[in-house]
Amino acid sequence: MLAENLENWAQQERQEGERLGIEKTARNLLKLGVLSDEQIAEATGLALDEVAKLREEGKR
């Protein structure tokens, strides 16, 4: 049971790390200002509304 819980925790942490990396990549692409939100969504695998949200966060 403990080993299973640790494995589940480790998997969640990996997924969170991957997610943060993808969002960082999207933010960097947004800063370049060359690609559309649609292109960034396609390149990163994020949903279009997630890219739009990151764009708005970057304006603050």
What is the per-residue pLDDT for 1? 85
Q: Is the pTM for the entire model greater than 0.85?
A: no
- How would residue 60 be classed by pLDDT, with cut points 50, 70 and 90? confident
Cα(53)–Cα(30) distance, integer angstroms: 11
Q: What are the CA-CA distances from residue 37 to residues 3, 21, 31, 32, 43 (Å)? A: 41, 17, 12, 12, 10
**Overall residue count recorded for the chain in this entry:** 60
> Mind listing the pLDDT tens digit for each residue in 8-57?
999 999 999 999 999 999 999 999 999 999 999 999 999 999 999 999 99
Residue 3 has pLDDT above 90, yes or no: no
Q: Max alpha carbon distance in the chain (Å)?
A: 49
CB 58 within 8 A of CB 30: yes
